Amino acid sequence: MTTAQLDDIFSIGGDLPVHRLGYGAMQLPGPGVWGEPADRDGALRVVRAAVEQGVDFIDTADSYGPFVSEQIIAEALHPYPEGLVVATKAGLTRQGPGIWTPVGRPAYLRQQVELSLRHLRVERIDLIQLHRIDPDVPLADQLGVFAELRDEGKVRHIGVSEVSVEELRAAREIVDVVTVQNLYNLTDRKSQDVLDYATAEGIGFIPWFPIATGDLAAPDSPVADIARELDATPSQVALAWLLQKSPVVLPIPGTKSVDHLTENLGAAALTLSDEDMQRLDALA
């Protein structure tokens, strides 16, 4: 079943066409996004299944594990199939499970990109994203090192994560920003203004936490009623809502389960009516 093989394409940076429903690799490492998964073979299986079912956009980060997620992706998929886009991030450091600290010093960011190249076994990273802006380092220095790496042929495109419209505008003064990755889902729309700006400017918007890690998938969730009417699951409805919200949205639901993966990708085939969208809009 190749549910993601619909004609719904977004071209990242104008030259990396991907199907809009991707796969987020944050859940591959152990608890707290720390260390090895309990079932590494299962993690490899779900990554391979994503590509087999039509996913051609995978989002990860150096800090997931750290490095565990990137290594699993490389072990599962290298040499990568043609057309697969693997995006990663740098700028968050790890001091233990669930602990994340921004570090944006240029030498550190450069080191992390060099390590990601090795862990992913690539010569160029398709999309490098600044995972968080470090408030102690000038933004021009943080994005500037990505621009240098791009000029050296080690990075293709640059994105940012968890930014305001003002910060996104400031970033675009420094480099060509092709994607923004913010927390956004059916029940948390604090980044609506960023999505509106990205839509107007044709910038890819990658909503992380797209189904609120299961909250929206619960049988008693706000979307359950609409899901029953559409003979779909709450997760599929939540993802379909994101896909219909704007043509620049690239949801990246993550899972350790092949069954959940298949269910999530079914959202690409789900069409919500204007009335469905209005009812869902009213839930926030």
Report, as residue numbers or ranges, the catalytic residues.
Answer: 64
Q: How far apart are the C-alpha atoms of 218 and 102, rounded to whole Å?
A: 33
Quote the Cα angle for 7-222-259, to 5°: 50
Q: How far apart are the C-alpha atoms of 261 and 90, rounded to whole Å?
A: 26
Tokens matching residue 237: 């409805």
Torsion of CA 143, 125, 185, 205, to 10 degrees: 60
Q: How far apart are the C-alpha atoms of 283 and 222, rounded to whole Å?
A: 7
CB distance 203 to 180 below 8 Å? yes
